[in-house]
Amino acid sequence: MPPSAKLTFYTAIVCPYAQRAAIALKEVGAEYEKVEIDLQNKPSWYKDINPETKVPALTVDKTSIAESLVLVELIHDLFPEKKKRPKLLTLTDCLCRLLPDDAVKRAQIRFFVEFWATKVSSSQFKLLQTRNNKEARQATYSEINNALKRINELLLEQASEGPYFLGSEYSIADINVAPFVYRFQLLVNTFLKDEGELQYNEYPRLKQFIEGVVERDSFKATIAPNELLESSFNKFIARIEAAAKN
């Protein structure tokens, strides 16, 4: 990226999609201006940045780009100097290559992210809709646990040990899944009080991955406080109830 290029990051701290981009920016050590968007009262000018008015969005000089998966890869590409790991630094000290050169590895990363989104994250809405009926949630938990078994297999295909998708190397796979891992655990264990329903502990590689991605410094620096996340769950429930009345 040209040294003079200016980055402006439009985000909302409660949004998991925005957190993806926030983590990537931390990982590459980018300097940028951050603009917090109130999702309940979006400023009228924001449609000039992103006509869909969603977060995140990133302006590079005068060009604005949106959609979290696109932005994470864009950030990776904007900072090619961060891709090579310094030999004298430890793994935890260095800025890692977020997307491997190997085409197959890149495809596996994208498949993993898509699998988590469609098989696990999408179930969050089912759980919120049946928040008052634990028996009704059991079928959803069964589906999720089947998905977790497959996710564990995908992790083992990459490495026998973690803490990340590729093993010891941190990548876009971890960035794109971590915000949803954390929120899903918060939803199930704290908000719905269904701790023990998800079979993480049956799969040591999966358990290591879940612990690893949320303990990363870039994740901890960008995650919203639990009370804000729980408030977002309540707002979603209110929208469900309002829609049901119409």
Q: Would you name the residues annotated as active-site residues?
A: 15
Q: Which two tokens stand for residue 183?
A: 């929120």
Using only C-alpha atoms, the chain has a radius of gyration, in whole angstroms, of: 19
Half-sphere exposure of 239 (CA within 13 A, CB side): 9
Counted residue by residue, the chain has a size of: 246
Q: What is the β-pairing status of strands 7-11 and 57-60?
A: antiparallel
The secondary structure element, H or E, covering residue 105 is helix 103-116
Tell me how far CA of residue 191 lies from CA of 132, 138, 232, in angstroms.
12, 16, 11
Other beta carbons less than 10 A from residue 137's beta carbon: 22
* Of 196, 176, 4, nearest in space to 76 by CA: 176
Half-sphere exposure of 75 (CA within 13 A, CB side): 34
List, in order, residues 6 or more apart from 90 with CB less than 8 Å away. none
